[in-house]
Amino acid sequence: MKVTKRPISKLSQIDFTDLKFGKHYTDHMLVKTYKDKAWGDSAIVPYEDFLISPANITLHYGQSIFEGMKAFRGVDGIVRLFRPEKNIARLNRSAERMAIPEMPDEEKTLKELIELVTMDQDFTPGHMGSSLYIRPFIFAMDPALGVKISDTYCYMVIMTPVDAYYGKNLQTLSIYATKQFTRAALGGTGHVKAAANYAQSLYAAKKAQEKGYKQIMWLDYLEHKYVDEVGTMNMMFVINDTLITPTLDQGTILAGITRESVLHIARDLGWKVEERRISLEEIITASKNGTLQDCFGTGTAATIAPVGRIGYDDGEDIIINNDTVGPYAKIIYDELLGIQYGKIEDRFGWTVEIKK
């Protein structure tokens, strides 16, 4: 792979005690282009802006997908990726659904990404909750205004040092269950990381924020009765000592890698776990009768995000654990981050160490 190094690093320009999500970027990025029905060779080049045509097909029709993954600097100073092969596989699943050519060799794609992380690993922050956020993405490149599948594409990987998405310390957030808007429907793109999914969610999130909530909680498209997910994360509820999360079989929920990891950890800890549909009414009832013990979100950006308050259209807010971090969320947080930061044994073989 061709590598062109940036002559002067930007590392000294970054205040690692005050990291904003997506404000600073590392010295390099990875680039690969698709044309003539084949992906070309990858290259690592200095991070910089680039020119595209005003008629770029993605700007007009949104044929674009992305992934989110992280590298963590452990307590031993070693930088580790967390289950990166899962992200590469999901990128290809998203590509198939969005009529984008898949990356033909997932192992090679991962190896090249690891080379980029290795080069810029010094940008990985060292304090708990921080990480190097890695964004692989693919977008259509044809300069064409006709609605069609593009013939050319660009695959890129950029990276940014970040603190936790919802604040440095583990804290609760509030969410609002909407019956007015729909995130995804059967046969749609809710199960993949298509850029358009996030664009169409912004207005609903804005309306929730105007009501005083941090995020929107989407309900099912048909009855607006069952929980799907929150804009940046999958949802988990603990009722009667059982961890419950919405099932993926409706095809409207993203198969989160953090979600899968949390379920695996929970089962390993001996918890009772159910993947099934869960209605807003069931959550309200559990809150009223005292059996709703915890609620939290899971996601690459959010990691573990305890929920302290759930609002909805026709009743008083659901308050969980007096709007404080719940015991189940704390246990999962400690277990997951313990593995990611090398504080506890990686008993599942999930991490990939980056060589210095």
pLDDT in tens, 193-206: 999 999 999 999 99
Other Cβ atoms less than 10 A from the Cβ of 141: the count is: 20
On average, the pLDDT of the chain sits at: 96
Q: What is the mean pLDDT of residues 105-121?
A: 98
Q: What is the pLDDT at residue 231? A: 86
Q: What is the mean pLDDT of residues 265-279?
A: 98
Cα 132-305-245 angle, rounded to 5 deg: 115
Question: Which pTM does this prediction carry?
Answer: 0.96
Location of structure tokens 């909680």: 217
DSSP 210-255: HTT-SEEEEE-TTTS-BEEEETTBEEEEEETTEEEE--STTS-S--
pLDDT in tens, 134-187: 999 999 999 999 999 999 999 999 999 999 888 777 899 999 999 999 999 999
| CB 327, CB 288: distance < 8 Å | no
Instruction: Enumerate domains of the chain plus CATH numbers.
Output: 2-162 (3.30.470.10), 173-340 (3.20.10.10)
DSSP code for 172? -
Cα 254-125-83 angle, rounded to 5 deg: 35
pLDDT in tens, 60-89: 999 999 999 999 999 999 999 999 999 999
**Nearest alpha carbon to residue 113 among 78, 157, 164, 160:** 157
